[in-house]
């Protein structure tokens, strides 16, 4: 156990405090001193009002957040935090699809041999910072058909999610479960992943490109979707609660971005020490274009940490374009701490 935000006795005390408050009857006549309550007054006194669980949870979360802030100020970081001490290097895709990225495109062992070479390149390029290997599996995927509920998205099976978790553990990786909500919402989709997010190695990615709930009638890939600060704040609160309730190290949240409209009201995004937010430059093509996108949509609209994606299939076409080297990416200002290969 790394740390507990709220000791057991604090929860009990909080419950008793709320119970005492809830038990005060409203609009009743107090009996005179020495008298015994009768009738409705006696019945009300015998039946304490049930606790408002939502109110209790909100109070607990607030206390957890204040304690997390306090630890952060004293030590500079919460125990177990990955960033900024290490740079995360991830292979992205879906283990059931050859078309979504390097994760799933090649046979498992061949893919991991390639991954080890990439990790070695990053360690050599920046010996001052450790490298944390990661798999980034698109787990709720936008679809070309609406489906029975008309939400244009499909979640991986339990067996697939458990398999990619096992891959990550076999190779000392952390794992990101990525969400493309289609015409659904993060509020509807994220709870489906909560059982997996209770695992300390499992983190989260959200993809505004495929978030279309505000665009009725638009199919995925027809237009670039969007998420607002309130959606990202909901996700941060969702993850922070899981961290507190399960006494976990901070979660990392990646938010894909390569246009300005993909994320609105970025200044309203609220930070929480229990969640480390990476704004991730997700564009492909000419290195010059990629650097410009990083500057315009990530650096110029800062949130917390930055990420940068490299595409095996698209960045090197047409010639003389090339996949940027670790040294080229590290040289960006600020130097990205989350690197993703698709």
Give yes or no for residue 109 having a pLDDT over 60: yes
Give yes or no for residue 117 having a pLDDT over 50: yes
For residue 183, what pLDDT is reported? Answer: 97
Give yes or no for residue 17 having a pLDDT over 60: no
pLDDT tens-digit readout, 31-59: 444 444 455 555 544 555 555 655 555 55
Pairwise CA distance, residues 58 & 53, whole Å: 8
Give yes or no for residue 121 having a pLDDT over 80: yes
pLDDT tens-digit readout, 145-186: 999 999 999 999 999 999 999 999 999 999 999 999 999 999
CATH architecture of the region 86-341: Alpha-Beta Barrel (3.20)
Provide the residue ranges of all domains of the chain, joining segments of one domain with +.
Answer: 8-75, 86-341
């Amino acid at each position: 156990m790394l740390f507990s935000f709220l000791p057991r006795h604090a929860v009990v005390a909080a419950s008793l405090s709320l119970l005492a408050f809830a038990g005060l009857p409203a609009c009743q006549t107090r009996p005179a001193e020495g008298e015994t309550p009768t009738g409705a007054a006696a019945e009300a006194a015998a039946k304490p009002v049930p606790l408002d669980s939502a109110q209790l949870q909100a109070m607990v979360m607030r206390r957890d957040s204040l304690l997390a802030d306090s630890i952060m100020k004293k030590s500079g970081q919460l125990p177990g935090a990955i960033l900024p001490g290490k740079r995360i290097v991830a292979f992205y895709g879906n283990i059931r699809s050859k078309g979504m990225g390097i994760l799933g495109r090649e046979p498992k062992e061949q893919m991991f041999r390639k991954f080890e070479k990439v990790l070695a390149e990053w360690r050599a390029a920046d010996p001052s910072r450790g490298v944390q290997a990661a798999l980034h599996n698109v787990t709720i995927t936008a679809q070309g058909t609406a489906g029975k509920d008309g939400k244009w998205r499909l979640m991986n099976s339990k067996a697939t999610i458990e398999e990619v978790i096992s891959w990550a553990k076999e190779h000392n990786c952390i794992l990101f479960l990525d969400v493309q909500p289609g015409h659904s919402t993060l509020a509807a989709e994220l709870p489906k992943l909560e059982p997996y997010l209770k695992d300390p190695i499992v983190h989260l990615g959200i993809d505004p490109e495929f978030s279309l709930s505000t665009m009725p009638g638009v199919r995925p890939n027809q237009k670039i979707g969007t998420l607002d600060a309130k959606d990202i704040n909901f996700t941060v609160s969702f993850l922070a609660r899981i961290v507190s309730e399960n006494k976990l190290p901070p979660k990392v949240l990646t938010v894909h971005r390569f246009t300005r409209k993909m994320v609105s009201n970025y200044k309203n995004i609220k930070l929480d020490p229990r969640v480390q937010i990476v704004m991730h430059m997700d564009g492909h093509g000419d290195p010059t274009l990629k650097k410009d996108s990083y500057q315009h949509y990530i650096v110029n609209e800062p949130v917390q940490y930055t990420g940068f994606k490299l595409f095996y299939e698209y960045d090197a076409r047409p010639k003389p374009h090339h996949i940027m080297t670790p040294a080229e990416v590290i040289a960006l200002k600020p130097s990205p701490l989350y690197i993703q290969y698709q």
